[in-house]
């Protein structure tokens, strides 16, 4: 079983295209694992519930959560209906890895969610480097004055896997490091 490919397929279904798998996510993004398995099987992906659980367990980066027979993507959604998350106070600083070619636009418009529902932020610089390095181009690490932004009504959300999400962050809260 190619668990990396399976993880990508599950992310596609749960983050971006539930409708094309005939899946309906609830307001927090959950679906029954049995429904996901049925949907994947219909698409020709031969997988069972225990293999889905194993994929989630083995994945180094925690992209999916399993609870009470249900599964959801922790983050990364691009579907129209916004996944509801509880906002909380962030630490003083959070980090974002990007590339130099995006910098002017970020400094002009702020950090935007782009294709996704939320902006993705990292707790530490090291993780932001990994995120930024996914892209071709010169790496730039941004330090976000998260606490200050929070006290000025910008919402932050923390996933149980340690990833932070937020709404638009104006450039006045961004430091290039
Ligand atoms: C940039 C992966 C121009 C932003 C990763 C980023 C992460 C702007 C890109 C997760 C901009 C969006 C998310 C602006 C932001 N002008 N560019 N105003 N504001 N950008 O993929 O944070 O492996 O949506 O800097 O590891 O790169 O899929 O966000 O470069 O955890 O599980 O627009 O996705 O996780 O790109 O990555 P993304 P991201 P998975």
**If pLDDT is split at 50, 70 and 90, which confidence band does 83 have?**
very high
| CATH fold group of domain 3-73 | Arc Repressor Mutant, subunit A (1.10.10)
List the chain domain ranges. 3-73, 93-176
- CA-proximal residue: ligand 1, atom 28 (nearest): 76
User: Is the CB of 174 within 6 Å of ligand 1?
Assistant: no
The rounded distance, in Å, linking the Cα atoms of 103 and 81 is 29
The rounded distance, in Å, linking the Cα atoms of 7 and 10 is 5
- CA-proximal residue: ligand 1, atom 32 (nearest): 63
Spacing, Cα 163 to ligand 1 middle (Å): 13
Closest by CA position to 119, among listed 152, 89, 153, 144: 144
The ipTM of this complex is 0.97
Determine the 3-state secondary structure of 55 from DSSP.
helix
**If pLDDT is split at 50, 70 and 90, which confidence band does 171 have?**
very high
User: Is the CB of 169 within 6 Å of ligand 1?
Assistant: no
Determine the 3-state secondary structure of 41 from DSSP.
helix
User: Is the CB of 112 within 6 Å of ligand 1?
Assistant: yes
pLDDT digits (tens, 9 = 90+) for 28-65: 999 999 999 999 999 999 999 999 999 999 999 999 99
**If pLDDT is split at 50, 70 and 90, which confidence band does 162 have?**
confident
Mean of the per-residue pLDDT values of the chain: 97
Which atom of ligand 1 is the closest one to the Cα of 111? 19
Check residue 110 and give its pLDDT. Answer: 98
User: Is the CB of 121 within 6 Å of ligand 1?
Assistant: no
User: Is the CB of 144 within 6 Å of ligand 1?
Assistant: no
Check residue 25 and give its pLDDT. Answer: 97
49-58 vs 3-11: helix crossing angle, rounded to 10: 100
User: Is the CB of 131 within 6 Å of ligand 1?
Assistant: yes
pLDDT digits (tens, 9 = 90+) for 110-128: 999 999 999 999 999 999 9
Spacing, Cα 1 to ligand 1 middle (Å): 29
| CATH fold group of domain 93-176 | ADP-ribosylation fold (3.20.170)
Check residue 175 and give its pLDDT. Answer: 98
User: Is the CB of 109 within 6 Å of ligand 1?
Assistant: yes
Place of tokens 């993507």: 73
**If pLDDT is split at 50, 70 and 90, which confidence band does 161 have?**
confident
What percent of the chain is modeled with pLDDT above 70? Answer: 100
**pLDDT at residue 68 is higher than 90:** yes
- The arithmetic mean of pLDDT across residues 89-104, rounded, is 98
H helix runs in 43-117, sequence order: 49-58, 100-109
**If pLDDT is split at 50, 70 and 90, which confidence band does 1 have?**
confident
* Half-sphere exposure for 105 (CA within 13 Å, toward CB): 9
């Amino acid at each position: 079983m190619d668990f990396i490919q399976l993880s990508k397929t599950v992310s596609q279904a749960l983050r971006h295209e539930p409708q094309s798998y005939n899946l309906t996510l609830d307001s927090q993004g959950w679906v029954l694992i049995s429904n996901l398995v049925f949907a994947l099987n219909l698409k020709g992906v031969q997988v069972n519930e225990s293999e889905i659980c194993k994929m989630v367990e083995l994945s180094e980066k925690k992209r999916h959560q399993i609870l009470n027979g249900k599964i959801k993507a922790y983050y990364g959604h691009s579907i129209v209906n916004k996944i509801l998350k509880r906002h909380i106070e962030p630490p003083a600083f959070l980090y974002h890895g990007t590339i130099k070619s995006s910098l002017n636009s970020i400094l002009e418009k702020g950090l935007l969610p782009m294709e996704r529902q939320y902006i993705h932020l990292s707790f530490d610089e090291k993780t932001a480097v990994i995120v930024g390095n996914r892209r071709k181009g010169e790496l730039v690490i941004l330090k976000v004055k998260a606490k200050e932004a929070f006290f000025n009504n910008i919402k932050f959300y923390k996933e149980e896997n340690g990833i932070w999400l937020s709404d638009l962050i104006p450039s006045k809260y961004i430091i290039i490091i």
